[in-house]
Amino acid sequence: MALTAAGRVFLHHARLALSQIETAGEAARRAEQPDKPVFVVGFLSGQEVAWLPAALRILREESPGTEIGITSHSSPELAAGLMQGKVDVAILRRENAVNRSSLQVSSQRAADRFDASHTSLDSA
């Protein structure tokens, strides 16, 4: 079974609407919680060890009173978390199915914020 062109367009918009509903629900739940700032960093599964120490150092220097949350997922899951507001920043791999225009916040390479001696910078 295959979708028609109209079906594909409808599916795209339905997914977008569901995503917005989920985002609204999360925003409502957050509104009920105390105003303690939480900054959620998402990592591509398996990359935490390489990036976490430097990321934590930078976040603690830049915003010492902020609680830091860590999550690990696949790139599509991290991209969805970014779009839904569940993740504030993520280190992920580019995926063809992701609408990058809605996700790109900065074109600065992550490596520019980390020490030049970091072992993972060659692959950044």
pLDDT(89) > 90:
no
Structure tokens at 69: 């949350």
Q: CA-to-CA distance for 102 and 124, rounded, in angstroms?
A: 21
pTM above threshold 0.95: no
Q: Are 95 and 76 in contact (CB under 8 A)?
A: yes
Amino acid sitting at position 73: H
- Report which of 74, 118, 113 is spatially closest to residue 94, judged by C-alpha positions: 74
Q: CA-to-CA distance for 83 and 98, rounded, in angstroms?
A: 10
Question: Average pLDDT of 15-40?
Answer: 81
Average pLDDT, the chain: 76
